[in-house]
Chain A
C-alpha cells in the first residue's frame, strides 16, 4: 500500500501530555454518564439493549468526546448540536437549564431518538455541553413502540419535540413534561427514561465543570482544539494510506412498506490524498414509506463506515470527520425532505448506506474490509394492556444478525448491525416484562454466506402470544436483498418473518396472512393468545472462494451444525462424509 502521508514536523505548541490526559478523562466521564443512564432508565431498549450515547460538545457545536455506546448516534451528534443551537441561541441558555430535542427535520436522526443537552458553566461562562442521546421506546404515533412501517408522513411516527427546555434554572418545566407525557402510551416509563437521561447529563456537567476548573478555561478550550486537530491529522494519515481513486458500490433495500419497488443505495467514494468525498448521487428519490434517511443519518453512516476501516484508536471528536465530505442530494432517500416519514432510515437505511461505503472502499483496501452484514435491527415492536399491573406496555425488541467475514476471520454470529451496538434482551427479562412465550431462540444453520472465511449466522426466534392480546409491528429489511460476499465469498441468507394463527395452521408471511404490502414492513397486527411470530434474521456475507476453506474448519462447522452436510456439498464442493 502506498504511504504518502505527510511527515511535517509537529507544531511544538501542542501539549500532547495534557491532551492525552484530558481526552481519557473526558471519555471516562462520558462512560460514567452512560452507566447512570443504564442503571436508572426504565425501557429495556435503554437498560438491556443500551441504545444510547453520551458525549461532550463545545459551545460552538463541535463534538469533543463520546463514549462507545451506539455508533449511529455518535456520527449524528455534530449536526444535531448545531441545529439545536440555531434555534436556542447561546445567550438564552442559563445554568440549570436542560434542553431536549428529537425532531428529525431539525438535525435529529429519527423520532424515537431524544437528545438532551446540559450546559456546563465555569465562572459564569458557558464552556461546554454534556449530551445524552437515547432511544425512547414509546413516542405515540400510529403504532405502539415507535416503528410504524406503513407510515407515509412524519406525523404518523409520533410526537416531534423541537429544541425546548425541559428544565429551566434547575426546575422542571412542568408544561413541557405534561405535553410530552400526554402524547405517549407509556407515560410512567417515559418519565423514568427522561429522568435517567437528565440525571446522566447533570452528573456529567458537574464532573466536567470540576475538570475545566482544574485545568483552567483557556487550557481546556485550547486542548480541545488541539485534540480535534490531532484527530483530524490521524484521519488524514489513514485516508492517505488508501490508494487514490473513485470507488463505487450499489446495494438495494427490499421496499418501503407501502409499495413494492426496490430502493437503490449508491455511493461513490473519491479518495483524493488525505481527503475522502462520499457522493450518494444515483441513490433513489425519496419514498412514501418510512425508510428515508435524514441528512444526519447520511452523514453518520459515512462516518461509521470510514471509522470501521481506519484505526479504532483515533479519538472520536469532530476533528476526525473534517477530512470527509459528503454529497447527499436533497429529496432522495439519503436526504429526505419534510414531511416524509423517516423512522426506519436510522436503523435500516443507515447500515445499507454504511455497507455501500465499505463495499466501495473494500476495492481499495481489501484486507481491512468485511463482507456485508445482516444490516437490520429487525425492529419488532409491540404493545398492549398488562392486566397484572393494569397499565399499558410497549416494547422495542431488536435482534442480532450475521456479520460479514473478513480476510483473516469468519464473520461473527448473532451480532447487532453496524450502526448499533445493542444487546439482545434476555428471554428471562423479556418474559418477565411482556406476555409472550419464547419457544425457540437459535442460530440459523447455513445462513452465513459460504467463503474461505464464512459469514456469521443469523438467528431464529419464535414467540407465542400467551394470554393477553398484543398489537405488533415490524420494520425490517433484507428479506430479498442478501448481505453481499466479497472476493468470491457468497451472500448471506435473507431474513423472513412468519405468522402462525394456531397449533393447527401453517406458517405464513405477513403478506399471505394479512394481505400486507411487505413481508418485512407491516403495522398493527393483532396477536391473539396461541398465535405465533417467527423472526429469521439475515446472515453475513462470506469472504474468498468457498473451495479454499480450510478442511478442518469446514469439518468442525458440519460437526457443530453451523453448516449442514448438504450445504457443505453445494457451496463448498465437499461431501458430508469428507467433511
Chain B
C-alpha cells in the first residue's frame, strides 16, 4: 500500500526530502548532497530510504535544472523566428545598463545566435488587424534555412502583436511542425500572451532554450524511478507554486524557472492558516541568498516582472519572491574608505565560512554567529560537521583590528549590517507594495533564518515572528502541501469609455475553460477553484494594478465596481487617485487550482514532565553577553513557553531567542515569537 507523500527540493548544495506517512501521520525529513552533473542521482540517493519504491504514493520535485541551464548557458541551440524587420530583438534588448557608472559592464548574452534568427513576411497592427497576411513561402524559406544550418534543437517564434491576434504565430507553428517533425516549437502566444516584444521574446526564447535539456532530464528521472519501482505520479513544482504533471513540464519548461523557493511560501501559507495569522512575510535565509515574499489573507503575491539575469526577463506568472545576495556565507570586508561591508560576495560551500576549516580565511556571517555563541560548534548540521571557533576568531580579527573593535564588537556589527540588508529585502515586499510591517508575522526559515529571527523581529518592526517546524527543509515541506495550478492571461486592452462587456466575458470564459481543461488533461480530478483578476491603469499610465473580482458577467454594476476598486487601490498604493480619469483595462487573468490530498500533521504530545535545557552557554546579544539555556527542539511540547535569552537547537538550524522576547510552541510544534 502506497503510504508516503514525498517532497524533494533539489538545491544548489543540498537536496532536501520530506516524507509524510499517511498511515502514521508522521513526518520525516532528511537531506543529502546535490549532484549537479547528474541531478537525478541526488534524488535517487535520498529516495533509497524507501526499501520499496511502491511505498511512495506521490512524488513532487522542485528543481534548479531549468534555472541552471540558463545561467550557465547550457541549453540547446535554438532558432528564432520573427516578423520581417525584427529578428534582432533578442540582441537589441532594451538599451539600459545594469549599473550607471561601470564602464566595464558587459551585457547579458542572448540565448540564441544571430545566425539562427529568421524573419517571415507578415504584419499585424496594434489593434490585431492584419496589415500584411502571413506569406507561407517565407515560412518555407525559414524551414529550409533551419534545416540547412543543422543542429537546431528547438525553435522560438515571436511575431509582433501576437498577444492580440495569435493567428499568424499559430500558422507558423503548424507549418514548422509539418515540415520539421519532432522539433519542439515555442510560440510566444502560448508562453506569454502579453505586450512588449522583447520581454515576450525573451521568455519564449528561454522556454525553447531549456526544452530539450528538460525533456532529457525528465525522461531520465521517470526512467530511473521506474527502475526503482516507484509507480507514483511525479509532479514538478512550477514558479507559481503550483504543481504540473511531468508531461506538462515537458511542454512548457519555462514554468520551472523559479521552482524550488516557492515551496517555502506555500508552506508558510499553510502554517499561517493553521496558526490563524492573516499576514505573513517570509524570510528564507540560506548560505548565499535570502528570499522574501508575502501571504496576505491566504493569498500569495504574484509577479510577472522577473529577470533571471539583468536584461533577461522571464515574465511568466510566478510567486513574487525577492532575492538578495546575503546569507550565512556572506563575506565581511573593509572597503578602501575604511567602512565595514557585508557581501554581496559569498564564501559559498567551498571554501565556505572560515569556521568550516576548508581554507576560508575571510570572516562570514556564520563566523560572526559562531563567536557570539549562537551556533554550537559541536552541533552544526546535527553534529555532522565540527566547526573551528579559533579560525572564526582569526578571520574576524582581520576586520575588527582596522575598525578598532574587539572581535565580538565586529561580529555584532556584521550582524547589524546583514540584518539591515534583510530588513531592506523585507521592505521591498512590504512597504513598496503599501503593506504595513506592523500587521505582519515574520516567518524565518532556511538554515540561517532562525538565527536572525529575534533581532529581525525588532528591526523590521513586525508584530511577531514564527520559526516553523523543520525550517531547514521548509521548501520541501511546502511541496507536499501543493495544489495543481494553472495561470492564464490575455491582453484585452480597452478603456472604461468603450468597455466591450461581451468581448471581456467571452475572453474570461475561454480562459477558464482552457485552464480547467489543461488540469483535467494532466489528470487532476479534484475540486477546481477559480480566481479572476484584471489589470487596470489610468489611461496614459504604463503599469497596472491587479484588481480581483468574482463574477463571470461584466454587467454594468459589476464593471462600475471594478473601476471603483481600482481608484481605491490606487489611493492605497500610491497615495492619490484621479477620480474622473478614464481607466484602461489591459490584461484579463484567471487562475484555476485543483486541490490535492493534503497531509494531516500530528500534534506534539502534551508535556508530562518539566522541560529542562540540555546545556548552558554564553551568548552575546546586542544588549550584552549572558549565560543562556540551550534547548533541543525535539524536547519541546505543545504549549511550552520560553523567555529569552534562550537557544533552541535542531539538526538543520538554531533559533536564537533574544532577551526581551518570548516563545510559545504551537500545537504542531511551530515556534511563535513575540515581545514580552
Contacts and interface: CB of A to CB of B under 8 A. Distances in A.
Contacts of A314: 337
A311 B336 contact: yes
Contacts of A24: 420-421, 424
A42 B97 contact: no
Interface string B568-584: 00100011101001000
Interface in B68-115: 85-89, 91-97, 99-107, 113-115
Contact of B96 (A188, A207, A416, A432): A416
Contacts of B432: 32, 35
Most buried by B among A35, A406, A441: A441
A561 interface: yes
B606 to A, nearest CB: 42
Interface string A45-89: 001101000000000000000001001001000000000000000
Interface stretch (A249-257, A423-431, A499-507, A566-574): A423-431
A35 B96 CA distance: 16
B540 A188 contact: yes
A153 interface: no
A10 interface: yes
A227 B374 CA distance: 32
A307 B101 contact: yes
Interface string A547-579: 000000000000111100000000000000000
A413 interface: yes
A192 B578 contact: yes
Contact of B95 (A199, A310, A423): A423
Interface string B234-246: 0000000000000
A166 to B, nearest CB: 14
Contacts of B337: 230-231, 233-234, 237, 314
A313 B345 CA distance: 14
Contacts of A68: 99-100
Contact of B86 (A25, A189, A195, A441): A441
A412 B97 contact: yes
Interface string B109-150: 000011100000001011000010000000000000000000
A47 B341 contact: no
B161 interface: yes
Nearest to A70: B100
Nearest to A40: B574
A428 B160 contact: yes
B650 interface: no
Contacts, number: 204
A426 B196 contact: yes
Nearest to A42: B540
Interface in B483-531: 493
B101 A304 contact: yes
B340 A424 contact: no
Contacts of B431: 32, 207
Contacts of B543: 38-40, 47
Contacts of B424: 24-25, 28
A222 interface: no
B178 to A, nearest CB: 29
B335 interface: yes
A140 to B, nearest CB: 19
Interface residues of A, number: 90
Q: How large is the interface on B (under 10, 10 to 19, 20 to 34, 35 or more residues)?
A: 35 or more
A432 B417 contact: no
A519 interface: no
B97 A424 contact: no
B541 A40 contact: yes
B428 interface: yes
Interface string A26-38: 0010001001101
Interface stretch (A14-22, A125-133, A156-164, A281-289): A14-22
B335 A313 contact: yes
Interface in B610-625: none
A474 B144 CA distance: 42
A432 B195 contact: yes
A342 interface: no
B158 to A, nearest CB: 11
A36 B576 CA distance: 11
Contacts of A400: 92, 95
B90 to A, nearest CB: 11
B88 A442 contact: yes
Contacts of B24: none
A413 B85 CA distance: 18
A395 to B, nearest CB: 12
A60 to B, nearest CB: 22
Contacts of B199: 426
Nearest to A67: B100
A21 B420 CA distance: 6
A560 B115 contact: yes
A47 B91 contact: no
A424 B341 contact: no
Nearest to A310: B101
B542 interface: yes
Nearest to B459: A21
B356 interface: no
Nearest to B495: A389
A163 B339 CA distance: 38
B338 interface: yes
A202 B575 contact: yes
B101 A412 contact: no
A123 B484 CA distance: 53
A42 B542 CA distance: 7
A408 B114 CA distance: 23
Given A195-B576, A422-B96, A424-B92, A41 B541 contact: yes
Contacts of B123: 437
Contacts of B93: 414
A409 B104 contact: yes
B364 to A, nearest CB: 17
A17 B341 CA distance: 8
B427 interface: yes
A301 interface: no
Nearest to A423: B94
Given A20-B341, A39-B541, A199 B575 contact: yes
Contact of B196 (A14, A413, A429): A429
Most buried by B among A28, A310, A369, A440: A28
A368 interface: yes
Nearest to B94: A423
Contacts of B420: 20-21, 24-25
B416 interface: yes
A426 B85 contact: no
B576 A443 contact: no
A443 B541 contact: no
Nearest to B582: A389
B385 to A, nearest CB: 30
Interface string B305-338: 0000000000000000000000000000001111
B370 to A, nearest CB: 20
Contacts of B404: 12
A203 interface: yes
B339 A230 contact: yes
Contacts of B451: none
Given A16-B339, A415-B95, 20 more contacts: A20-B340, A20-B420, A40-B576, A44-B542, A50-B96, A71-B101, A192-B538, A199-B575, A311-B336, A412-B97, A414-B93, A421-B96, A423-B94, A423-B95, A432-B195, A441-B92, A442-B86, A442-B87, A442-B92, A561-B115
17 contacts: A14-B338, A24-B421, A28-B427, A40-B543, A42-B538, A44-B542, A68-B99, A71-B101, A312-B99, A389-B539, A412-B97, A421-B97, A424-B95, A428-B160, A428-B195, A429-B195, A562-B114
Interface of B: 85-89, 91-97, 99-107, 113-115, 123, 125-126, 131, 160-161, 163, 195-199, 335-341, 403-404, 413, 416-417, 420-421, 424, 427-428, 431-432, 493, 538-543, 570, 574-576, 578, 581
* 5 cross-chain pairs, A with B, having the tightest CB-CB distances, nearest first: A47-B542, A400-B95, A42-B540, A440-B85, A560-B114
